[in-house]
Structures are given as structure tokens and as C-alpha cells.
Structure 1
């Protein structure tokens, strides 16, 4: 990121050299929001968002799950920013910014010119707000804190614009890309990691982040309710089963039966298993091989070896 920002800074300086003066592009919000010279406030809002979010992560029941989502979403959005910051060079709206000179690989400037598209500060605001939206307690206090997090994000974005640290388009792009990255990571993790049972053997230090058997038991209990099963899993409601629909992808947890074995096996002997999230659904009877009326359905937690990355 630093290298591409240095490239953007040098390209931005070339614009000033050609015109012989600095200038600012027209911006609607610049016309309505007065200019202030309190650039330190942008970093202050970073701290106001980051510290409470860190406390939420630490106190969360599954902290490594939150950390993984946060870092992946922030990393994806930052990767997108790397591709945009130096592609289109715009004159910096700040008169006090510094141009990066020298080797682009070794130069580091805190408030460099040209580091515009899009706002990295706003990216931090919004990603932290998304953590609250997804992982805050589902209580009235959690809802209040989530609302405050988004209000702080909006206030921080306005401070960025008021300091002329970024154009409004830079801030808006951050608001579009950060939630998009957040939900893209959530979608990919669910369908390509959780549903397919991957990354089950990852070990974390001092038992932190390991899969909790109690979590699986609770998820399977809810799944039994969806399927209309009794607590022991031995009875079911065909209507509830039909309305719930089939979930999960077939997973061979037991040796696959050959066609001859299927024909030789009676309806009570036929068994089919499939993974359903953190549960294993076992169907016995004719329904296991395509029949319409299974004789038994059992839902049990998936047996795991090693840790589960929250």
C-alpha cells in the first residue's frame, strides 16, 4: 500500500508541475462543509472506532471468528484500494500535504499528497461499524452501541471531508466497498469453508478459538426442531420435514453401498448420512435411497478432530 501511495504522490506532483500551481477539484460537500485544520481528528476517530471494537472482539464468545472476518474484509478492501490509489491521479485537496520523493519502495510520508482514491480512514470506520452490526449482542444495549458505531463512522467521514483530507468521492467509495468486502467474505466463508467442513484441523494457542461442542449441540437441537423431530431424534413430522426442505450437501460419512447391496438391504437397513452445517443428518429406511417415507431421522453433532477456526 505504501509503495502505490508513493507512486500516486509522485504522479500528483507531476500535475502541479505542469500547471505551475496547486488547485482543488470541484466538490459539492466542500461547498457546504467549512474547512478546518484539525487533521489529528481523523486519527482520533480511528481510535474511537478501533478501541471499542477491540473490546467487543475480546469479550465475544468466539473471538477468533470475529478477528478472521475483520482482517479478511479489511484486507480485501485494502487490496482493492491498492489497485485504485495510483491508477487515477487527482490533485490533493490539502494545501499542507507533502509529496513523496525518492525511492517509492523505501520512502514513508505520513500525510502524503495524492493518496486519495479511496479513503483509508473511512475504510477503518466502516469495517469497525460492520463488526458491531454482525457481532454485537442482540439486545437493546447492543442495538444502541451499534447505532452509535455507525453515527461515529458518519461523523468521522464528515471530519475527513472537513479537513480536506479526501474528496467526497473517496469517502463514498469507502462506504460502498467496506460493506461489500464484509459480506463477500461472509458469503465465501459460509459456502466454501463452513458448509464444506474445511479448516477443521487448525490449532490455536492455549485452546483459544477451538470449536465448542456445546455450540454444535445447540445448532443440532434447533435443526431437530426445524425437521419436526423429538429431542431424541427418533420421531418426525413429515409435514415439517417437507416444509424445511433438504439442506446440506451429500457427504459420505459411511462406506457407500453398491447397487446390489441397496437392493438386498431392506427399508429398515438403508442408511444415508449427510452433513448439515455442524450436524450430521442420518436418514434410515426407504427415504435413504430416494423413497418418499424415511422410517427414521437422527440429527447429531458432527464429530471433529482438532480445532475449528470460529
Structure 2
């Protein structure tokens, strides 16, 4: 990201050299929101978003799942930003920005010119808000905190525009791409991680289908059925279930229940019942059947 932002900054310098002055593209929100020179506020809103989100992750029953979704979504959106930030160069909206100088691979400049499409600060606002939408507690406290976090996101986006850190289109693109990356990762995670029984320690930290110790066995079994998973995390296999039941092994991943010991008299009575149920002329019937089939074949 730093390398491509430096490339964008150097390319943005070409625009100023050709025009002979700094130039800002027309922007509707610039006409309604006054200009402030408080760039530190954009970083402050990043911290305001990170702190409550970190608390939510720590207190969540499945913290590794939340962290995985957050980092994967943020990483995917950042990869998209790498492909856009230096493709189309636009005049920087900030009159006091600094152009990157020196080697693009080793130079690091804060608030550099040309780092425009699209807003990385707003992307952080959006991803943190989506974490709260998906993983906040389903009660009035969780809903209130989620609304508060979204209020911070909107306020931070307006601060980004007021500081002229980005054009309005940069902020809007972050609001479009952030949810797209979030739900793309959610779709991939469900179908290629959860449904295939991968990384189950992240999905179910206690055991397959169980998020916490207080979950009932019925709830855990329902989750496994919905996901198509066996108790050991492997995909549902009816043939394996049949073979396990046929050989008395029970379901994979579950220890078979031991039957109570049977007395010798009961075993003798059971054997006698099986002997009585077996026809005594079974061999004669087999011979007659075989001979009958042979005779029919010879007649044909």
C-alpha cells in the first residue's frame, strides 16, 4: 500500500507541474462542509473505532472468528485499494499535502498528495461498524452500541471530507467496497471453511457445534445438521453412518454407549430363540432352488 501510494503521489505531481499550480476538482460536499486543518482528527476517529471494536472482540464468545473475519475483510478491501490508488491520478484535494520524494519502496510520508482513490480511513470506519452489526449482542445494549459506532463512522467520514483528506467519491467508495468485502468473506467462510469442516477450532472453540459450555446438546446437534457436519467435523456421509451402525461402532466422533452386561441364561435363551426362528430345511430349499434354476437353464 505504501509503495503504490508513493507512486500515486509522484504521478499527482505531474498534474501540478503541467498546470503550474495546485488544483482541486469540484466536489459537492466541499461546497457545504467548511474546510478545517485538523488532520489529527482523522487518526483520532480511527482510534475511536478501534477501541470499542477491540473490547467487543475480547468479550465475544468466539474472538478468533471475529478477528479472522475482520482481518480478511480489511485485507481484501486493502488489496482492492492497492489496485485503484495509482491507476487514475487526480489532483489532491488538500492544499497543504506533501509529495513523496525518493525511492517509492523506502519512502514513507504522512498525509502525502495523490493518495486519493479510495479512503483508507473510511474503510476502517466501515469494517469496524460491520463487526458490530454482525457480532454485537442481540439485546438493547448491543443495538445501542452498534448505533453509536455507526454514528462515529458517519462523523469520521464527514471529518475526512472537512479536512479535505479525500474527495467525497473516495469516502463513498469506501462505504460501498467495505460491505462488499465483508460479505464476500462471510460467504467464502461459510461455504469453504465451515461447511467443509475446516478451521473448526476457530468456528467452534469448545467442540463441533458448540460455541460455549452452556449450549444444550439439542442446539449443538441442530447446528451440525444445518452445516452438514458429523460430530467429528467431517462432512455428513450417510454411507459412513450406515457402515458404522452396521459394525456397531456408532457415529464417528461419538463414543458408542456400552450395553449392560447380559447374563448367561439370557444369552442362552436368546440363542435358542434364534435357532427356533431359523428354518431347518434352509439347505434343502437352497438345493431345490439351485437345481430348479439349473433344470430351467438346461430346458432352455
Higher percent of residues as helix: 2
Larger Rg: 2
Secondary structure of the 2:161 match is helix
Q: TM-score, normalised by structure 2?
A: 0.73
Match of 2:267 in 1: none
Given that 1:100 and 1:109 are in contact with CA atoms closer than 8 Å, whether structure 2 keeps it comes out as: yes
Given that 1:252 and 1:274 are in contact with CA atoms closer than 8 Å, whether structure 2 keeps it comes out as: no
Secondary structure of the 1:215 match is coil
Match of 2:116 in 1: 116
Matches within 5 A, 1:245-264: 248=228, 251-252=236-237, 255=240
Secondary structure of the 2:112 match is coil
Pair 1:46-2:40 in alignment: no
Over 3 Å counting, the alpha-carbon distance change for 1:51 and 1:20 in structure 2 is: same
Q: Distance in 2 between matches of 1:222 and 1:27?
A: 53
Given that 1:251 and 1:274 are in contact with CA atoms closer than 8 Å, whether structure 2 keeps it comes out as: no
Over 3 Å counting, the alpha-carbon distance change for 1:76 and 1:254 in structure 2 is: same
Given that 2:194 and 2:200 are in contact with CA atoms closer than 8 Å, whether structure 1 keeps it comes out as: no
Match of 2:218 in 1: 221
Deviations along 1:182-236, one digit per CA (max 9) or x if unpaired, are 111111001100001013478xxxxxx972134388476137679xxxxxxxxxx
Match of 1:168 in 2: 168
Deviations along 1:85-135, one digit per CA (max 9) or x if unpaired, are 000000000011000011000000001000000000000111111111111
Over 3 Å counting, the alpha-carbon distance change for 1:22 and 1:60 in structure 2 is: same
Give, in angstroms, the shift of residue 60 of structure 1.
1.1
Structure 2: stretches of 5+ with no match in the other structure? 230-234, 255-300
> Alpha carbon RMSD of aligned pairs, Å?
3.1
How many residue pairs get matched? Answer: 244
Match of 1:211 in 2: 205
Q: Distance in 1 between matches of 2:149 and 2:7?
A: 34
Structure 1: stretches of 5+ with no match in the other structure? 203-208, 227-243, 262-267, 280-310
Secondary structure of the 2:211 match is helix
4+ long deviations beyond 2 Å: 199-202, 213-220, 222-226, 246-257, 268-271
Q: Distance in 2 between matches of 1:127 and 1:247?
A: 26
